Amino acid sequence: MKGSFSSSGSRANWTTRTRLGATVLIRDFPRATAMSILKEGETDPDQRWLTRIVPEEQPVDTAALATEKSALVARLEAIEAQLGAAVAPSQAAA
């Protein structure tokens, strides 16, 4: 995040604005609403406050992935065993 902000209005009707060039991070905001704001900014320069959406990178849980991989490998081995047992002797010789 970088840049600065300004605010004005009354206590009941305040506004906060980012100054030109500011970068902010907004979390947990509906993507459909953000896309609508982007589209509105294309036609109305006064509404051009959102210029792009960048997905936030989530940390990779390598332990969970390793556990999931082990379970998947075990399941694939079980499927291979069942498929091998299901092959008729005449098919196995072919």
Each residue of 56-88: pLDDT tens digit? 778 889 999 999 999 999 999 999 999 988 775
CA distance 50 to 35: 9
| SS3 category, 65 | helix
Q: How confident is the model at residue 20, as a pLDDT?
A: 72
The phi-psi region of residue 3 (left if phi > 0; otherwise alpha if psi is between -120 and 50; otherwise beta) is left
Give the tens place of pLDDT for each residue, 16-71.
777 777 777 777 888 888 788 777 766 766 666 666 777 777 888 999 999 999 99
CA distances from 19 to 7, 31, 37, 52 (A): 10, 23, 18, 16
Residues 65, 67, 68: CA angle, nearest 5 degrees: 65
- Global pTM reads 0.36
Contact 61, 30 (CB under 8 A): no
